[in-house]
Amino acid sequence: MSQKELIKTVNLIKTYRTDEIETLAVNQVNFTVYEGEFVAIMGPSGCGKSTLLNIIGMIDNPNGGDYFFDDVEVSKFNEKQRANLRKHNIGFIFQSFNLIDELTVYENVELPLIYQKISNTERKERVLKALDQMNMAHRKNHFPQQLSGGQQQRVAVARAIVADPKMILADEPTGNLDSEHGEEVMDILTELNDKGTTIVMVTHSPSFADYAQRVVHLFDGNIVTENMKKKFHV
């Protein structure tokens, strides 16, 4: 088993400022995720869990502290550098799916590969493989509006994995789904993790957090507890 640190934050700080108010969303957080781990981040609304996830996903910048991704310090990267690192290493799954309505299922899943400038032939092969994995290949020519919530989230997962990322970040992936479809998505994530993909998931649900090997609790921007749920697989 590799105990390689994929993510390491050191005294990470994120502050939101308006004209009158300054909010410390992430307060000196030291957080590590090892390669192959499945980590759940929990906490009440407004505790900073999504903010932490955004910083990990390089979608947002910290105001202080360091962030190492795969041993590379990225907190001072510009948007272009972050985008480059992000597209080759990280897949995203969102609560509200965020599929593009004007694109078919196939085209939505293909999107990350287009931005990596992968050839047409290889793109086709990988998209179909990802859709097959999610049992959505038969709907590849449909548009998102024609799918149920569960199906849309399966397409979103296919999109997240098609580029073979090192890590998947999932922000409340079951938030807009009923329990049956929620469990379906969690099973998929577990399966991916079993195959070696690192997963960091934000969730409100203790039952879905149980799928993870480690649960990190945040409160007012601080990590308050970390529980090892189970050993992660070699």
Q: How many residues bind another protein (CB under 8 A)?
A: 30
Residue 46 φ/ψ, nearest 5 degrees: 85, 10
Q: How far apart are CA 65 and CA 9, in angstroms?
A: 7
Q: How far apart are CA 198 and CA 32, in angstroms?
A: 12
Indicate whether 141 belongs to the interface with another protein (CB under 8 A): no
Residue 112 beta carbon to another protein: minimum distance, rounded to whole angstroms: 4
Residue 92 beta carbon to another protein: minimum distance, rounded to whole angstroms: 6
Residue 193 beta carbon to another protein: minimum distance, rounded to whole angstroms: 21
Amino acid letter, residue 156 = A
Indicate whether 122 belongs to the interface with another protein (CB under 8 A): no
CA–CA distances in Å: residue 86 to residues 26, 29, 191, 228: 21, 21, 22, 28
Query: Long-range contacts: 132-139, Cβ < 8 Å, 24+?
Result: 133/158, 133/161, 134/158, 134/188, 136/105, 139/105
Site residues for another protein, 82-121, by CB under 8 A, read: 83-84, 86-87, 92, 94-96, 98-103, 107, 111-112, 114-116
Residue whose CB is less far from another protein, 5 or 60: 60
Residue 25 φ/ψ, nearest 5 degrees: -80, -35
Indicate whether 75 belongs to the interface with another protein (CB under 8 A): no
Kindly list the residues in this chain that would bind another protein in the complex (CB under 8 A). Answer: 50, 54, 57, 59-61, 79-80, 83-84, 86-87, 92, 94-96, 98-103, 107, 111-112, 114-116, 159, 171
